[in-house]
Structure 1
């Protein structure tokens, strides 16, 4: 649990950078990849991460600008990636400017539950990590190279002249 805004900012910046690597690897063609006819496309999951981040922050009581056309998934992978770049920077700055370390223990009703602000920030990070994981599976199915997140990807192991661990 965060006890200082700087802890959240550090973790947010790390996880947002990893998410940015994934978004930067997308292609326009890959955005249409889906696991089944009933599920979201890769592009709609990517856009959900982008558009829902400011929405979650606003639900938490943080003032940020929303994403234009949040319900319309762009057909450009670059647009999705560039919009997240802005959203990510704005997230760090808004929390830094609007909340203090002391605020983190305050509670607020969000999404029908009483949560401490520190828990809200943790939820925000878990949300992008969760969807980022979904994206990497769809990226593989779409033939897009997946960047390493918490270590090298299979392709990165190969580029280093090594075989990826089998476990």
Structure 2
């Protein structure tokens, strides 16, 4: 508790939510980076079932979600049909890591524009005339759609890595395998 208090004691109460989101964002960017760096080229085409993405497609999707922070935090209506989403080659993990870093930088910039008031504004995602999500408060979208969406797909990627016999990096401490070595 002392570390928490020391870190946040000078933050005005109305800015706490923004600080919480920013801190979580930065911690989880590091975890996502570790996980994407663990994807080996040799298993990039692995997929657990015919209907599943390949490991490369899943990694690329995770990198792409960070781009959506821009539309979520800077627009009231984000139209995927008019956006020029950069994807790259899903069979090149180095290209996916580069895309991830570019999208994280964009997301950081968008996140820095947030205010408590803006988190309460309504937001909608659409593709042309079709509503995909919303209208919802932007803060709910940030947690429920952006943050949790990344966590969900990272969990899938961990399963892919384990299924192919690859090492999973510790995201919240040592992995099971690491703890057995201690």
Give TM-score, length-normalised by structure 1.
0.81
Contact 2:41/2:93 (<8 A) preserved: yes
Matched, 1:28 2:41: yes
Matched, 1:103 2:133: no
- In structure 2, the partner of 1:11 is 24
- Stretches of structure 2 lacking an aligned partner (at least 5 in a row): 1-14, 76-82, 126-131
Distance of 2:133 and 2:68 partners within structure 1: 15
Matched, 1:117 2:138: yes
Instruction: Give 2:74's match in structure 1, choosing from 62, 75, 83.
Output: 62
* Alpha-carbon offset, residue 51 of structure 1: 1.9
* Alpha-carbon offset, residue 50 of structure 1: 1.3
RMSD of equivalent CA atoms: 2.2
* Alpha-carbon offset, residue 61 of structure 1: 5.2
- In structure 2, the partner of 1:157 is 179
- In structure 1, the partner of 2:170 is 148
Between Structure 1 and Structure 2, how many residues are aligned?
A: 154
Q: Deviations over 1:28-58 (max 9, x none)?
A: 1121111112211111111011123314532
Q: Deviations over 1:132-165 (max 9, x none)?
A: 000000011122110011221133224xx33xxx
Contact 1:30/1:144 (<8 A) preserved: no
The structure having more radius of gyration, on CA atoms, is 2
- Stretches of structure 1 lacking an aligned partner (at least 5 in a row): 163-167
* Alpha-carbon offset, residue 107 of structure 1: 1.4
* Alpha-carbon offset, residue 114 of structure 1: 1.9
Give TM-score, length-normalised by structure 2.
0.75
Query: Are residues 62 and 30 of structure 1, via their aligned partners in 2, closer, same or farther at CA, if it must alter by over 3 Å?
Result: farther
Distance of 2:68 and 2:160 partners within structure 1: 25
Return the structure number with greater relative CO, CA threshold 8 A, min gap 6. Answer: 1
- The structure with the largest strand share of the pair is 2
